[in-house]
Structure 1
Amino acid sequence: MLFRNHPRGLPVLFFSEMWERFGFYLMLGIFTLYMKAGADAATPAKSGLGLAPQDASDIYGTYIALVYLTPFIGGLLADRVLGYRKAIVIGGVLMGLGYSGLAVSGYGPLFFLSLLLIIVGNGLFKPNISTLVGNLYNNEEYRSFKDAGFNIFYMGINIGGFVCNFVAAYLRNTYGWGYAFLAAGVGMFIGVAWFLAGTKHIVEADVIKPAAPGDQPVGALLGQVFGPAAVFAAAGWFLPPLIGGPGTTVFGTASNDAFLFACLPVTYFYYSLWRRSQGEDRERIGALLPIFGAVIAFWAIFHQNGDALTTWADRYTRREIPEVAVPFAEAVGGVQRVDTGLRMVTITDDHGNPVPGPDGEPRKELGPDPYFDNVPVDRRPPPPPPACAAEDRPAATAAECEQLQTKLVSTELFQSINGFFVILLTPFVVGFFALLRRRRIEPSTPAKISLGLFITALSTLVMVAATFVTHNGHEKGSALWLIGTYGVITLGELCLSPMGLSLVSKLSPARFTALMMGGWFLSTSIGNKLSGILSGLFTLFEHKSGVFLINFVGALVAASTIVLMLPRLRRVMSKYLGE
Structure 2
Amino acid sequence: MNNSTSARHPKGLYVLFFTEMWERFGYYLMLGILYLYMTDKKSGLAFSEAFANDVYGTYIALVYLTPFLGGLLADRIFGYRSTIIAGGLLMAGGYLTLSLPGVTPFYTALLLVILGNGFFKPNISTLLGNLYNSSQNASLKDKGYNIFYMGINIGAFICNFVAAYMRNNYGWGYAFAAAGAGMLLGLVIFIAGQKHVKEADVIQPTQAEDMPLGQVLGYIFVPALLAGALGYFLPRLVGVDSFFGSTTNDIFLFACLPIVIFYVSLYVKASASDKGAIGALLYIFFVVIIFWMIFHQNGNVLTEWAKSYTDRSVSKEMQATLKPFGFLEEIKMPQDIEIPKAPDAAAIAQSMQENLPYYFKNVPPQALPAPGSSIYLISTELFQSLNPFFIILFTPLVIAFFNFLQARGVILSTPAKIAWGLFITGLSTLVMVAAVFASQNGAVKVSAWWLVGTYAVITVGELFLSPMGLSLVSKLSPQRLTAVMMGGWFLATAIGNKLSGVVGHVGAESSNLALPFYINFAGAILAAVLLFVKVGSIAKVVQDKTGQY
TM superposition score normalised by structure 1: 0.90
> 1:60 corresponds to which residue?
56
> 1:239 corresponds to which residue?
234
User: How much has 1:224 moved relative to structure 2?
Assistant: 1.0
- Over residues 482-503 of structure 1, what are the superposed CA-to-partner deviations in whole Å (9 max), with x where a residue is unaligned? 0000000000000000000000
Q: Mind listing any 5+ residue stretches in structure 2 that lack a counterpart? A: 339-349
User: How much has 1:111 moved relative to structure 2?
Assistant: 1.9
> 1:123 corresponds to which residue?
118
Give 2:65's match in structure 1, choosing from 59, 62, 69. Answer: 69
- Over residues 497-548 of structure 1, what are the superposed CA-to-partner deviations in whole Å (9 max), with x where a residue is unaligned? 0000000000111111000000000000000000000011111222211110
> 1:457 corresponds to which residue?
426
> 1:299 corresponds to which residue?
292
The SS at the match of 2:235 is helix
1:21 matched to 2:24: yes
Letter of the 2:306 counterpart: A
1:5 matched to 2:8: yes
> 2:358 corresponds to which residue?
370
User: How much has 1:213 moved relative to structure 2?
Assistant: 2.1
Distance in 1 separating the partners of 2:444 and 2:416: 40
Letter of the 1:332 counterpart: F
> 2:445 corresponds to which residue?
476
User: How much has 1:149 moved relative to structure 2?
Assistant: 0.9
> Is this contact kept in 2: 1:342–1:366, CA < 8 A?
no
1:80 matched to 2:105: no
Give the total of aligned pairs.
533
User: How much has 1:242 moved relative to structure 2?
Assistant: 2.8
Give 2:138's match in structure 1, choosing from 135, 143, 163. Answer: 143
Closer, same or farther: CA 446–331 of 1 in aligned 2, 3 Å: farther
Deviates more, 1:325-334 or 1:548-557: 325-334
Give 1:230's match in structure 2, choosing from 214, 225, 231. Answer: 225
Distance in 2 separating the partners of 1:370 and 1:331: 24
Deviates more, 1:504-513 or 1:319-328: 319-328
Distance in 2 separating the partners of 1:86 and 1:128: 10
> Is this contact kept in 1: 2:231–2:254, CA < 8 A?
yes
Distance in 1 separating the partners of 2:318 and 2:283: 49
Closer, same or farther: CA 445–3 of 1 in aligned 2, 3 Å: farther
Letter of the 1:143 counterpart: A
Distance in 2 separating the partners of 1:61 and 1:365: 27
The percentage of counterpart residues that share the same residue type is 55
- Over residues 467-493 of structure 1, what are the superposed CA-to-partner deviations in whole Å (9 max), with x where a residue is unaligned? 000000000010000000000000000
1:35 matched to 2:5: no
User: How much has 1:318 moved relative to structure 2?
Assistant: 0.2
The SS at the match of 1:62 is helix
> Is this contact kept in 2: 1:447–1:566, CA < 8 A?
yes
Distance in 1 separating the partners of 2:146 and 2:174: 32
Letter of the 1:376 counterpart: P
> 1:389 corresponds to which residue?
none
> Is this contact kept in 2: 1:344–1:364, CA < 8 A?
no
Distance in 1 separating the partners of 2:215 and 2:264: 17
- Over residues 330-363 of structure 1, what are the superposed CA-to-partner deviations in whole Å (9 max), with x where a residue is unaligned? 2432110111344589xxxxxxxxxxx9xxxxx9
Distance in 2 separating the partners of 1:490 and 1:342: 43
The SS at the match of 1:244 is coil
Equivalences for residues 28-427 of structure 1 within 5 A: 28-39=31-42, 47-108=43-104, 110-244=105-239, 248-342=241-335, 367-384=355-372, 404-427=373-396
Distance in 2 separating the partners of 1:262 and 1:197: 39
User: How much has 1:67 moved relative to structure 2?
Assistant: 0.2
User: How much has 1:439 moved relative to structure 2?
Assistant: 3.8
Letter of the 1:340 counterpart: M
User: How much has 1:214 moved relative to structure 2?
Assistant: 3.7
> 2:347 corresponds to which residue?
none
User: How much has 1:268 moved relative to structure 2?
Assistant: 0.9
Distance in 1 separating the partners of 2:68 and 2:48: 32
Closer, same or farther: CA 301–366 of 1 in aligned 2, 3 Å: closer
Letter of the 1:338 counterpart: I
Q: Mind listing any 5+ residue stretches in structure 1 that lack a counterpart? A: 40-46, 346-356, 358-362, 385-403
User: How much has 1:141 moved relative to structure 2?
Assistant: 1.4
Closer, same or farther: CA 207–473 of 1 in aligned 2, 3 Å: same
Distance in 2 separating the partners of 1:54 and 1:540: 7
User: How much has 1:129 moved relative to structure 2?
Assistant: 0.5
Distance in 1 separating the partners of 2:308 and 2:392: 28
Letter of the 2:332 counterpart: D
The SS at the match of 1:295 is helix
User: How much has 1:326 moved relative to structure 2?
Assistant: 1.4
User: How much has 1:367 moved relative to structure 2?
Assistant: 3.2
> 2:502 corresponds to which residue?
533
- Over residues 281-340 of structure 1, what are the superposed CA-to-partner deviations in whole Å (9 max), with x where a residue is unaligned? 111101111000000000000000000000000000000111111133224321101113
